[in-house]
A and B are shown apart, each in its own frame.
Chain A
Amino acid sequence: AQRVTQPEKLLSVFKGAPVELKCNYSYSGSPELFWYVQYSRQRLQLLLRHISRESIKGFTADLNKGETSFHLKKPFAQEEDSAMYYCALMGGAQKLVFGQGTRLTINP
């Protein structure tokens, strides 16, 4: 079975502070991991994927197979980063499964 856990439902940080959104997964095979974001009144959209090893809007995420984690990080938070963030895993049978989500609020 494939499972994604985001332990923090809510996360609040001040503008300019570092941000880390945690994501842990459970999957016996080789997973493909993603972070999706939902800004207020917008559709859910892809932020980044582990296979691309990219930085989007200052965010990065590293897949740690030993700890089965895929935490999302940004060194300096901006107010426009306030949104709902979902970690997702694609495993067997091409199923895309999401975590519970973390609502990030950046305080001015």
Chain B
Amino acid sequence: NAGVTQTPKFQVLKTGQSMTLQCAQDMNHEYMSWYRQDPGMGLRLIHYSVGAGITDQGEVPNGYNVSRSTTEDFPLRLLSAAPSQTSVYFCASRSDSRGSTEAFFGQGTRLTVV
């Protein structure tokens, strides 16, 4: 059971380049989210999804796009990378069960935009 898998682990981009951060989970979780982690800012929610075909914006969505065509995958797209997007990105998933459910995180993608 792999849990939540993110690829790549490290990436360097030039300003203006585009790329997609991949996130896959094998736990059949309905909810998936993307966060960015910056020093002093904590984890900020970028986009989230409550199921296949449904996405919504979080706290800092500008510059990022997402889609959820399957339950397993939730890719995050940077259309035109900017230095301000240099960060560590985390994907998380959790189930849609009654009560307080645990979120499971990927190992993170460290992105540098130069």
- Identify the A interface with B (CB < 8 A): 6, 9, 32, 34, 36, 43-46, 49-52, 86, 90, 93-101
Contacts and interface: CB of A to CB of B under 8 A. Distances in A.
A86 B43 contact: yes
A32 B85 CA distance: 30
Nearest to A100: B42
Contacts of B41: 100
Interface residues of B, number: 26
Contacts of B53: none
B42 A46 contact: no
B100 A44 contact: no
B42 A101 contact: yes
B98 to A, nearest CB: 11
Contacts, number: 53
Nearest to B6: A43
A51 B97 CA distance: 14
Contact of B100 (A52, A86, A100): A52
Which 4 A-B pairs rank lowest in CB-CB distance, beginning with the nearest? A100-B42, A98-B43, A51-B100, A44-B105
B106 A43 contact: yes
Nearest to B42: A100
Contact of A98 (B31, B42, B99): B42
Contact of B31 (A32, A43, A94, A99): A94
